[in-house]
Amino acid sequence: MFKRALVQQLKNRLLEKRRFIQIIVGPRQTGKTTAVTQALRGLKIPCHFVSADDPALASREWLGNVWTQARLLQKQQRKSALLVIDEIQKIPQWSAVAKQFWDEDTRRNTPLKVVLTGSSSLLIQKGLSESLLGRFEMLYCPHWNFAECRKAFGYTLEDFLFFGGYPGAAALKNNEERWARYIGASIVEPTLSQDILLMEEVRKPALLRSLFRLGAGYSAQELSYTKILGQLQDAGNTVTLAHYLELLKKANMLCGLPKFSLNKIKVRQSSPRFMVFDTALLTYADGASRRRFLENPEARGHLVESAAGAYLLARGREEGFQVFWWRERDKEVDFVLQQGTKITALEIKSGRVKKSGSSIEFQKKYPQALSFIIGSANFSLEDFLLGRIPLFA
């Protein structure tokens, strides 16, 4: 069975002395639970593994009972033990209960280690900021990248561009209709109706869904909030749209890349360039066939740029850099990366028609920047998505 790098990361931390709660977050259906179970194999640590996925069971009292059972296991074994709770965000006020029990174990020197997983970064982040500051470490489980999908499922580059990085959907790639139903029923709808609507106040859920479909379909394209208002019914105002787009970002579905500028006010005022976190969300929202996407230069171009953007967003979260785009008049750079004082401009040769010379204009304005053209003879798209091209000098 294929093992992601996350498995060894978690395994190494579980072998350390008890210091922090380990919290694993990431999009739905990316293999968080599988990674935990793989890490546990071979570890000689008594483990109490439970899931909070059943809403009829999950409560503050249930969480307290589960923690008590793990303590009893540790006491019986007379050595370090482990408590794993899957989908922790479904328990109301989970972070306050976790803080109480973790602090009690710390005071009593109880060697009980804890791993929590959650699909909703919205509620996870809220709980961490409220109660668990200084008590946890975060591990992120992103969408699968091209290197992982190629090794685990035999994906070609064209497969990855269209079907994206959801491992559970890989077996359905020969049946596009069935694949699309899986993406909708197992990923898109649960994320919208559970991870967002049940955890944040959304007064217009139909608008949230419409914004996702519009934004995902326009991935790798700029669309001003004024134009969005014109295309969506009952769209309200730009403040509402910006808030909903932020919720979609926190749910690892869709974000708006800001324009790059060293003037932070201009960054905040810029129109967003939509970007999905995985190309499966673009192809699902558009509804077109694989042949249409990969044979139409314009559609394939947006798909290639979305794959590059999703890859950069995942790496940026892990490596601590921000992702922007840049345009002045008719000159446009697809992606600008900023890590401290380091700046890198990336143009993506995707097959669709673009103005040439944009990176040259960018470097005139920002001479300290590094510049690449991905898809050129020196820097192929495949090498880029496989992580073979360094992003900073």
Residue type, 379: F
E strands in the chain = 21-25, 47-51, 81-86, 112-118, 136-140, 254-257, 273-276, 322-328, 331-339, 342-348, 370-374
| pLDDT of the residue at 149 | 98
Asked if pLDDT for residue 261 goes beyond 90, the answer is no
Asked if pLDDT for residue 84 goes beyond 90, the answer is yes
- Cα separation, 119 vs 113, in Å, equals 21
Do residues 299 and 292 touch, judged by C-beta distance below 8 A?
yes
pLDDT-above-70 percentage for the chain: 92
Do residues 303 and 289 touch, judged by C-beta distance below 8 A?
no
Q: Which residues, listed in sequence order, are joined to residue 347 by a DSSP beta bridge?
A: 373
Q: 20-34, pLDDT tens digit by residue?
A: 999 999 999 999 999
| pLDDT of the residue at 265 | 60
Asked if pLDDT for residue 366 goes beyond 70, the answer is yes
* Beta-strand pair 47-51/21-25: unpaired
DSSP 169: G
Higher pLDDT, 352 or 52: 52
* Beta-strand pair 342-348/254-257: unpaired
List the end-to-end C-alpha distance of the chain, in Å, as a whole number: 36
293-322 average pLDDT score: 94
Higher pLDDT, 356 or 106: 106
Residue type, 137: E
101-108 average pLDDT score: 97
Asked if pLDDT for residue 73 goes beyond 90, the answer is yes
pLDDT-above-90 percentage for the chain: 68
Do residues 163 and 239 touch, judged by C-beta distance below 8 A?
no
- Cα separation, 274 vs 255, in Å, equals 6
Asked if pLDDT for residue 267 goes beyond 60, the answer is no
- Cα separation, 19 vs 126, in Å, equals 22
State the pLDDT confidence band at 301, using cuts at 50, 70 and 90.
very high
Asked if pLDDT for residue 119 goes beyond 80, the answer is no
| pLDDT of the residue at 232 | 80
Q: Could you count the other beta carbons within 10 Å of the beta carbon of residue 324?
A: 19
| pLDDT of the residue at 56 | 67
- Cα separation, 234 vs 306, in Å, equals 28
State the pLDDT confidence band at 1, using cuts at 50, 70 and 90.
confident
Higher pLDDT, 91 or 347: 347
| pLDDT of the residue at 13 | 96
166-192 average pLDDT score: 96
Per-chain mean pLDDT for the chain: 90
* Rounded alpha-carbon distances, angstroms, from residue 190 to 22, 28, 195, 259, 348: 25, 9, 7, 31, 33
* Rounded alpha-carbon distances, angstroms, from residue 250 to 25, 267, 350: 11, 19, 28
Q: Could you count the other beta carbons within 10 Å of the beta carbon of residue 114?
A: 23
| pLDDT of the residue at 128 | 66
Asked if pLDDT for residue 272 goes beyond 90, the answer is no
114-132 average pLDDT score: 72
Question: What structural domains and CATH numbers belong to the chain?
Answer: 5-140 (3.40.50.300), 146-385 (no CATH)
DSSP 272: P
| pLDDT of the residue at 393 | 80
Angle in degrees, 0-180, between the axes of helices 121-131 and 94-107, rounded to the nearest 10 = 50
DSSP 186: I
Q: Could you count the other beta carbons within 10 Å of the beta carbon of residue 72?
A: 12
Query: Going by C-beta distance under 8 Å and a sequence separation of 6 or more, which residues neighbour residue 379?
Result: 372, 373, 389
pTM: 0.91
Residue type, 227: K
Q: 340-361, pLDDT tens digit by residue?
A: 999 999 999 987 666 667 888 9
201-229 average pLDDT score: 89
Cα Rg of the chain (Å, integer): 22
Asked if pLDDT for residue 233 goes beyond 80, the answer is no
| pLDDT of the residue at 356 | 67
State the pLDDT confidence band at 124, using cuts at 50, 70 and 90.
low
Query: Is residue 31 classed exposed, middle or buried when 0-12, 13-18 and 19+ CB atoms within 10 A define those classes?
Result: buried
Asked if pLDDT for residue 266 goes beyond 60, the answer is no
State the pLDDT confidence band at 134, using cuts at 50, 70 and 90.
confident
State the pLDDT confidence band at 270, using cuts at 50, 70 and 90.
low
